[in-house]
Amino acid sequence: MKTHRLATTDADFDQRLTQLTAWSEERDAEVGARVSDIIRAIRERGDAALVEFTNRFDRRDVRDVSELVIGAEALQAALGRIPAAQREALEAAAERVRDYHQRQKQDSWQYRDADGTLLGQQVTPLDRAGLYVPGGKAAYPSSVLMNALPAKVAGVGEVVMVSPAPDGVVNDTVLAAAAVAGVDRVFTIGGAQAVAALAWGTDTVPGVDKIVGPGNIYVAEAKRQVFGKVGIDMIAGPSEILVVCDGKTDPDWIAMDLFSQAEHDEEAQAILVSPDAAFLDQVAESMARLVGTLEREQIIRTSMANRGALILARDLDDCLDIVNRLAPEHLELSMDDAEHWARKVRHAGAIFLGRHTPEALGDYCAGPNHVLPTSATARFSSPLGVYDFQKRSSLIGCSPEGASRLADIASPLARSESLTAHARSAEYRIFKASDVRRQTSDAKTS
C-alpha cells in the first residue's frame, strides 16, 4: 500500500518531514461566521434557538426543550440494556481510570514564616464542568469515561454531558458510560449550539465553568470562540501515533498499531521510525496484507498515503531525536529497555513502553487519560487530568511583623513603578519593632 518512505540521511529529509507533519489550523472564515451566528442566537434566544438548531442540524422534530433532557433513570436503563460483556468492560475500565486519576489529585498546603506570616495554596474544584461527546453513528463511550471521571475525582460539583442524537438516535453505550462515570445531567444536543448553551447557559441547560471533549470543526470553532467566557481543554488536531521500533517486534503488530490511529480519519498520522531497513520492508508487507481485512480500509489507505511514513534512522538515538522534534500525541517505544529510552523523551502526550503495550490499550482501559495534546503541542501541554478540574488560590496572611518586613520590600518597588497608592498602602503597615511588641501585648491584655 502507498505511504511515504524517508531516511534521515536523505539530503532533503528535514524539508520532507516538515511538509509531511505540517498541520494547518487555518480557520475557515465561513465556519467561523456561522458559529458566531449560532452562539449569538443561543445567547439571545436561549432554549428556543437551541430547539431550532437541534431540529435543523440533527434532523429532529422536537417541540419543547424538555424532550432534549435525558434523566438519570434513562441512563440506568441504558446500562441495563447493553450486553453484559460491554457493561463489565465499561465498569472495569472506569475502575482503572478512576484509580489512576485518584493519584493526580492535589491537596491544599500552607506554611508559616518565622514571623508568623501564613503562605500557601488552597485547591478547590470547579463548580460545574461540561462534557461534549460525539453522538449518532460515532459512539465513543471511552470519551465519556476519560472526560467525566477526572472531573468527578477532582470533586466537581456537577458534570453536564451533551451529545447529539441525529434522527433521534441515542447510543445506549454512551448513556451507559455516563451512568458508570456518574455524570449528573445529560442533554441530547450537539454542535456549536451545545457548546454555546454550556458556555452561556439557557433556562434549561446550565452554564458551566469549563468545556471538555472532542467534536467536529464546528465544535472546535465554538470552543475557540467561547474560550474566555469559560475554560476549554484544548483545540485538538487529527490523531497521531509515532512508533519507534528496534526491528525485533512482530511486523504484523506494528502494522496494526499504525492502523489503529490511521483508521480514525483521513487526516490522522501514523509514522514508524526504525534503524532497521529490512524491518521497515517487513512492516510495509504486513500493512499491504492486513489493510484489506479492516472495516475502515479506505480511510486507512487515504491516511497512510497522505500523512503516513516509514522512516529509516541511523540508530536509536537518531530515532529519539525525531521523537522530540515531532512531540507526538501517542508514542510507542517497541524496543528492548524501553524504560531507559523513555528517559530521553522530552515531548510526547503518552508513552507506551515495550512490545506488549499497544496504544489501543491506552485508549480504553490502561488508566491514563486518552485526551492528549496533538499537533506538537506536547511541547508545552499535558494530557487531560484531575488538575484540569481544580483551581488553585494563593493564601497570604501577614502577621504585624511580617507585614512590616514585606512592606519595606514592596514600598521601593512600588515607587519605582510610580504606583504611589501601592507604596503607601504597604507603608501604613510598617512599624518599629517596639510598636509591634506593644500592639501584640495590648491585644493579649484586651
The residues that are catalytic are 329-330
DSSP state letter for 336: T
Largest CA distance in the chain: 89
Residues 350, 259: contact at Cβ < 8 Å? no
> What is the distance between the alpha carbons of residues 306 and 93, in angstroms, rounded to a whole number?
34
Nearest to 134 by CA among 262, 265, 42: 265
Nearest to 98 by CA among 139, 160, 154, 159: 154
Alpha-helical segments (H) within 46-131? 47-58, 72-81, 84-102
Cα 385 vs. chain centroid, distance in angstroms? 8
In a 3-state reduction of DSSP, which class is residue 332? strand
Q: Say which amino acid occupies 352.
A: F
Nearest to 374 by CA among 192, 239, 205: 239
Residue 96: how many other CB atoms lie within 10 Å: 16
Residues 303, 287: contact at Cβ < 8 Å? no
> What is the distance between the alpha carbons of residues 105 and 73, in angstroms, rounded to a whole number?
30
Q: Say which amino acid occupies 390.
A: Q
User: Which residues lie below 8 Å from residue 200, measured CB to CB, with a gap of 6+?
Assistant: 39, 42, 43, 207, 226, 229
Q: Say which amino acid occupies 281.
A: D
Q: Say which amino acid occupies 36.
A: S
Residues 158, 125: contact at Cβ < 8 Å? no
Nearest to 79 by CA among 177, 191, 210: 177
DSSP state letter for 203: S
> What is the distance between the alpha carbons of residues 134 and 219, in angstroms, rounded to a whole number?
10
User: Which residues lie below 8 Å from residue 95, measured CB to CB, with a gap of 6+?
Assistant: none
Q: Tell the residue number behind the cell numbers 467561523, with chain if given.
A: 32
Residues 355, 249: contact at Cβ < 8 Å? yes
Cα 182 vs. chain centroid, distance in angstroms? 19
